[in-house]
Structure 1
């Protein structure tokens, strides 16, 4: 099995749409209402190609893919500057791991770790820390991020599909003050 992590390309975007949709449906199938799951299943509506093209072209995004034998099986997006969410402080040299998804048939195979490590390598020289947000009910995600050196810094309520969900914010420092 040949595994490779590299910057995303335009020809990867349809595969990224599919794996993000599949990941959400498997990870949150018991948490989200049926109408949300139906929306997620429509890959183009859930993850419009235009939003992926924007991430691909943005100077404030590092968009990576993991491939196994040439097939895209994972993606990760690291955001800086204006592309980060409100809980990230770019002025304090914080970066956000904004997106990390692996095709469900490749979960627990090291793809997520490889993507995160490659992202760390990309941003480490310019960042003091990386922050990530995961749904509090997603125990697997929180456990994974802890294994990658992230520690919980807080919680916030987010809205998904018009419903409130608690999200956990985690931080992975590169340097200490």
Structure 2
């Protein structure tokens, strides 16, 4: 049975593992292999702890998808970040910041359940609309969001992927998608 629940402090490593796997599998072919190979679960878990993502007072909420005691997916959402800046929040809109599911659970409904739970919580905060950013070339994710009722709203930005050896960052185009929280 799939359980959707809030992140707790002890979940940092499990969430980081899903996040790293999400990048490694979901962005294969979109990002250089050396970028994906150097991702570190322990470092990402520590970053979550440092940011206090499980703190109920944190402006963003993370919900986990858990099956048989294992975290298999998560989503993070909250107020919209102007220019994707966590310090510049627009409290008139909601945003889904992240959504990752272990590859073994792609297509089994886990992501849909996570998105539905995030939308319900966003609507519960009084928002009627939400946004999210997705890599332009991540066709699988774009299809998922489009089936969920979101569509590109014309905004785009470039996500800078740091490269090793002092090379300039690789710029990946992100598209902003918009949706309504109408129930």
Question: Normalised by the shorter chain, which TM-score bucket?
Answer: 0.7 to 0.9
Instruction: Report deviation, 1:85.
Output: 4.2
Structure 1 runs of 4+ with >4 Å offset: none
Q: Distance in 2 between matches of 1:99 and 1:165?
A: 16
The superposition leaves residues 54-78 of structure 1 with CA deviations (integer Å, 9 ceiling, x where unpaired) of 2222431111000112211001000
Instruction: Report deviation, 1:134.
Output: 0.6
Count of paired positions: 169
Q: Distance in 2 between matches of 1:18 and 1:85?
A: 28
SS at match of 1:131: strand
Indicate which of 165, 179, 183 corresponds to 1:172.
Answer: 179
Larger helix percent: 1
Instruction: Report deviation, 1:148.
Output: 1.1
Uncovered stretches (5+) of structure 1, i.e. residues with no partner: none
Q: Distance in 2 between matches of 1:130 and 1:113?
A: 16
Q: TM-score, normalised by structure 1?
A: 0.87
2:47 counterpart of 1:50 = yes
The superposition leaves residues 25-47 of structure 1 with CA deviations (integer Å, 9 ceiling, x where unpaired) of 1111212113211222x2223x2
Q: Distance in 1 between matches of 2:31 and 2:52?
A: 27
Instruction: Report deviation, 1:147.
Output: 1.1
Instruction: Trace 1:52-91 onto structure 2 (pairs within 5 A).
Output: 52=49, 54-57=52-55, 58-80=57-79, 84-86=81-83, 90-91=90-91
Deviates more, 1:10-19 or 1:138-147: 10-19
CA RMSD of aligned residues (A): 1.9
Uncovered stretches (5+) of structure 2, i.e. residues with no partner: 163-168
